[in-house]
Structure 1
Amino acid sequence: MREAKKCVNKGRSYRIITPYDAQRGRIEEALKKEKIPWEDRVFCVDSFQGRSSAHSILALLTYDCILGNEADYIILSIVRTKKIGFLAEQRRVNVMLSRCKKGMRICTSRAFVEGAAKDTLVGLLARDIGQGAWGS
């Protein structure tokens, strides 16, 4: 929520993307609770690829529509601890990593990215950026 609040305070266009529908729902609820704009801001990555979820709160857009709907800033929520799960699918991860125009924040565990996920696109990105990749 801290990253979303920073975007709002700076008047930045942003979207939040997560690989998991359950995380999307929790993020939306947390944004609502904090009174941070949430409508049309939080997406499960599958909605960016034209797949839909029957219980989605948001009206999901088709892949062709979302391609022109990137945001200036993307916040990725990648919450895993042991298994790489979704991150093993490079095509889906590429969708998440290529939606920003100006900047991106990846919210995850450093231990996870440097451990189980070290050979995924996210792990390789963190390794290429180096220590500067990690904020507080």
Structure 2
Amino acid sequence: MLQAKNKQFRIITPYDAQRSLIEEGLKLQELDWEDKCFNVDSFQGNEEDYIVISLVRSTALGFLADLRRTNVMLTRCKKGMIICTSQKFMKRAGCNSLVGSLLEYYEHEWIEKDELERIAV
């Protein structure tokens, strides 16, 4: 979606395995993948117009318990941010995190994955 609209974006995830999986998915879809996907620590000090944050957790906060690193992740965008996560996780274990607070504030902005393709950025 962002690439098709020639938007400048980067993808950030706290997990290296997830970063690798996302890169492989971009390659398989024949999308630009080089210099697109980063773990949070390697992206610190950088920013981009649009940031896609990939947060996949099931039961524990993990990375989201680290306020400093979470703050880095959430402050890298200039124009917009898309957070990909599980609404179920964020309403349970993630609700007391900084991301949980942000998503609670923007609760009316939740979009299911099949709706995302229809949104114009």
TM-score, scaled relative to structure 2: 0.89
Structure 1 residue matching 2:60: 3-state secondary structure: coil
Q: Which residue is 1:52 aligned to?
A: none
Task: Give 1:106 deviation, angstroms.
Answer: 0.4
Structure 2 residue matching 1:9: 3-state secondary structure: coil
1:116 to 86, 89, 93: 93
Q: Which residue is 2:119 aligned to?
A: none
User: What pairs up with 1:96-135 in 2 under 5 angstroms?
Assistant: 96-130=73-107, 132-135=108-111
Task: Give 1:10 deviation, angstroms.
Answer: 0.7
Q: Distance in 2 between matches of 1:40 and 1:48?
A: 11
Q: Show CA shifts across 1:34-84 (max 9, x none).
A: 0110100100111124xxxxxxxxxxxxxxxxx2x4111000000001011
Q: Which residue is 2:35 aligned to?
A: 40
Unaligned runs of 5+ in 2: 113-121
Task: Give 1:128 deviation, angstroms.
Answer: 1.1
Q: Which residue is 2:58 aligned to?
A: 81
Q: Which residue is 2:47 aligned to?
A: 70
Which aligned segments of 4 or more residues in structure 1 are displaced greater than 3 angstroms? none
Counterpart amino acid of residue 135 in structure 1: I
Q: Distance in 2 between matches of 1:133 and 1:120?
A: 18
Unaligned runs of 5+ in 1: 1-5, 50-66
Q: Which residue is 1:9 aligned to?
A: 4
- Say yes or no: does 1:29 pair with 2:5: no
Q: Give identity over the alignment, percent.
A: 54
